Structure 1
Amino acid sequence: MLTLEDRARGCLVGAAVGDALGGAVEGWTTEQIAERHGGPVQGIVAPFYENWRTARPIAPYHKGDGHVTDDTLMTHALVRVYDRVRDHLDAYAVADHLVPELMGNPVWIPEFEAEALPLQRIFLAEKWIVARLHYGHVDPREAGVGNIVNCGAAMYMAPVGIVNAGNPRRAYAEAIDVAGAHQSSYGREAAGVFAAAVASAFTPRATVRTVVEDCLVLAKDGTRTAIEAVCETAEKYSDWEDALPALRAAVEPFDTVGPEYRKPSLGARRPSRLHAIEELPVALGLLLIGDGDYRKTVLGSVNYGRDCDSIATMSGALVGALHGNAAIPAEWSREVATASRLNLETPAATLAQVAREVFLRDVERRKAHEAAFGAIAGAR
């Protein structure tokens, strides 16, 4: 049986490798990806443009060549917060610990090929956290309101699922609280559902289908409907190359960005109870099609295009949590770790130890509650 440590390693390494593979072709369509690479991407590839330092819209980021993106930088930052707090997190922990981490702890930024503050790399939707909490002094539980609604919070919620391994409902609740400092509406909802999916994948007899079922139990509004629609479509396919157009068609009614990813529609990324982010439903659909195979799942995610680094981050994390680190091609993880100058396994070992400590605290808290409730309610 896989250990907590092995599943945690598989989850975070799987997420980082998916991120690095997807980062090289982020923002492009399936057709543009195939044209650039002479067919579907089959592994780690070079940047879309050779002159990536100046080519728009890539500049100045060195995407590709095994470099992770802000998805992994944010995930590892959240791991460091858990390492410091060593307990469940909430929106106040984002203000007290994640914001200082982003503003004051220089790390190696692979896309910059330099050491810098994470704040200097993360996207504007993530810079929002710092603007609202550090400069605006907004209540952390409400700071996400007003931000563009996107996958920014969901993309780094895997650590919440690991700390709540085997308890999707608790993972969902914690991620909803944490993400309140960053996102609102269906962006916040996706963060909760993704964390729940990770926690579900840690269950000993979990399968790709039980993970999706647990997501559907917890998901609300458009997020739930989008997952249903995409996964119903995914069940008709066993090959991701055939499925990609159908998956896009299934999620399109719920996606506000529109047909051109780099030219969002006027109604893009606004709060709604009817819509969903694109990335999570598609990641779950490709998880079903890949049926637990890392290569198939992640390559499908990468070649889907659009925000494919985040799609591959999520689907890669779920396969790794289901099947452990052995499921991830070693040549990919080695190359990503080397190219990105990151130890991909240490954050997982740290988080697994934190999860064990938090579980013991939860047991003690539960015992205290049982004793208090017994005294209140009496014997029946």
Structure 2
Amino acid sequence: MSWIRERISAVLAGSAIGDALGGAAEGFSPEKIRERYNGRITGIVAPYYGENWKTARPVSPYHKGDGHITDDTLMVQAMIQVYADKQDHLNAFDIADRLVPLLQTEVRWIPELERESILLQRIFLAEKWLVTRLQYGHIDPREAGVGNVVNCGAAMYMAPVGVVNAGNPAAAYAEAIDIAGAHQSSYGREAAGVYAAAVAASLAVGATVESVIDAALLYAHDGTAAAVAAVVDAAKNIPEDTDHDTIGVVLRDAIRPYDTVGDAYREPAMDARVPSRTKSIEELPIALGFLVAYDGELMPSILGAVNYGRDSDSIASMAGSIAGGLGGAAAVPQDLLAQIAEASKVDFSVHANLLGDVAEHIIAADLDRAHAEVRRVGLLQGA
């Protein structure tokens, strides 16, 4: 297996592990998580509501926990299929022409529903927006995200964008910003670009946590840039002997001025998730904060995010993907990944191989395009 394919596999594995472990804790506070599970989550756990998972929250009747991947991973896998279909970089029109039909037509196993269905039946309201606006509203894909709730919905499936732009965070940022315009606006769209840039940076030869953070800060704007800087600075100043729970508290304190949702995650304020130049989604800065706090180690970063609660599956998925890019296959607990694969009835190697194939194809095409650009500039200078 080539170096880049091994790293791609680790990115997807880290993302899926974070997603599956974080699902059970999603929406809850650290205190509630410790109370329910008699301490910190350290691996696969049962649903928060046990056997009542179908009825405890009718708005979200999903089997989270027991090693089930959630919509985060399912959307990542859908994006991989879109890349494989086009065999090149994507733009907002590809989201309308390729992703939206896939959401509505392809039947697959949905772990949280425990049955086969189309992905449209699992994705939540902010993601259903894609179909509403693009399929039924016929909105220009470049601006269809305007009006949607501003959240991490677009950012959560941008890891493949970082992968096909491995080592080139500038290109990853630009591509993700274009794609995310079909889904999100404001700081939700910005987070998609910065997350893709961070994944791309993690796949550069010789990448470190510091180089990933540098890339995120280089391309981030407005409230997203301020939030990443604040959380990363807080993480850097955490004493080495600080306990895990306190690390989460420190990061939450740092993101609070930029987070619109508020401390009661399931009771957001009236101005939550609305466009702003000064705010940020919570998930990406916190994921980067855990990576800094745990020196890029995959499982400590993931478990920190899981026990942080709130949107824990997305935070842990983002942290896990970047840590996977940095650490490669050696950082991935293969036994845990196998348990998640069995519980979710998914073969992760299929998606890793598919993304590896298309990434290698796109990278080779980018090299040809780069040579052509050099020739173009050389001719202009000669003229």
TM-score (ref. length: structure 1): 0.97
> Which of the residues 238, 243, 246 maps onto 2:247?
243
Q: What does 1:1-380 align with in structure 2 at a 5 Å threshold?
A: 3-50=3-50, 51-56=52-57, 59-237=60-238, 238=240, 239-378=243-382
Deviations, residues 322-371 of structure 1 (Å, cap 9, x unaligned): 11122121221011100000111221221121111111211222222232
Q: Tell me the distance in 1 between the aligned counterparts of 2:114 and 2:199.
A: 31
Deviation at 1:58, TM superposition (A): 7.1
Greater shift in the superposed pair: 131-140 or 317-326: 317-326
Q: Tell me the distance in 1 between the aligned counterparts of 2:381 and 2:143.
A: 36
Checking the alignment, whether the CA contact within 8 Å between 2:78 and 2:99 is kept in structure 1 is yes
Deviation at 1:376, TM superposition (A): 3.0
Q: Tell me the distance in 2 between the aligned counterparts of 1:241 and 1:332.
A: 23
Deviation at 1:59, TM superposition (A): 4.8
Deviation at 1:2, TM superposition (A): 7.3
Checking the alignment, whether the CA contact within 8 Å between 2:298 and 2:327 is kept in structure 1 is no
Deviation at 1:252, TM superposition (A): 0.5
Deviation at 1:232, TM superposition (A): 0.5
Amino acid at match of 1:232: D
Deviations, residues 238-288 of structure 1 (Å, cap 9, x unaligned): 453221111101000000011111111110111111000000000000001
Q: Tell me the distance in 2 between the aligned counterparts of 1:197 and 1:295.
A: 18
Q: Tell me the distance in 1 between the aligned counterparts of 2:256 and 2:330.
A: 34
Checking the alignment, whether the CA contact within 8 Å between 1:12 and 1:345 is kept in structure 2 is no
Count residues with an aligned counterpart.
379
Deviation at 1:203, TM superposition (A): 1.1
SS of residue paired to 2:109 = strand
Amino acid at match of 1:372: R
Q: Tell me the distance in 2 between the aligned counterparts of 1:271 and 1:179.
A: 15
Deviation at 1:290, TM superposition (A): 1.4
Q: What value does the CA root-mean-square deviation take over the aligned residues? A: 1.3
Q: Tell me the distance in 2 between the aligned counterparts of 1:155 and 1:297.
A: 17
SS of residue paired to 1:140 = coil
SS of residue paired to 2:348 = coil
Deviation at 1:150, TM superposition (A): 0.2
Amino acid at match of 2:303: L
SS of residue paired to 2:65 = coil
Deviation at 1:377, TM superposition (A): 3.4
Q: Tell me the distance in 2 between the aligned counterparts of 1:284 and 1:188.
A: 17
Structure 1 residues 150 and 359, CA gap change in structure 2 (3 angstroms): same
Deviations, residues 94-150 of structure 1 (Å, cap 9, x unaligned): 011000110110111000000000000001000000111000110000001110100
Checking the alignment, whether the CA contact within 8 Å between 2:166 and 2:201 is kept in structure 1 is yes
SS of residue paired to 1:345 = helix
Amino acid at match of 1:37: Y
SS of residue paired to 1:116 = strand
Deviations, residues 142-197 of structure 1 (Å, cap 9, x unaligned): 00111010000101100000000010100000000010100010000000000000
Q: Tell me the distance in 2 between the aligned counterparts of 1:378 and 1:146.
A: 49
Checking the alignment, whether the CA contact within 8 Å between 1:240 and 1:290 is kept in structure 2 is no
Checking the alignment, whether the CA contact within 8 Å between 1:13 and 1:345 is kept in structure 2 is no
Percent identity over the alignment is 55
Checking the alignment, whether the CA contact within 8 Å between 2:10 and 2:328 is kept in structure 1 is yes
Deviation at 1:57, TM superposition (A): 5.7
Q: Tell me the distance in 1 between the aligned counterparts of 2:124 and 2:256.
A: 24
Deviation at 1:372, TM superposition (A): 2.7
SS of residue paired to 2:61 = coil
Q: Please list every run of at least 4 consecutive aligned residues from structure 1 whose deviation after the TM superposition is greater than 3 angstroms.
A: none
Checking the alignment, whether the CA contact within 8 Å between 1:201 and 1:321 is kept in structure 2 is yes
Amino acid at match of 2:236: E
Q: Tell me the distance in 2 between the aligned counterparts of 1:148 and 1:219.
A: 20
Deviation at 1:292, TM superposition (A): 2.2
Deviation at 1:374, TM superposition (A): 2.8
Amino acid at match of 1:360: A
Greater shift in the superposed pair: 127-136 or 362-371: 362-371
Deviations, residues 47-74 of structure 1 (Å, cap 9, x unaligned): 0012111112675211100001100010
Q: Tell me the distance in 1 between the aligned counterparts of 2:60 and 2:202.
A: 37
SS of residue paired to 2:142 = helix
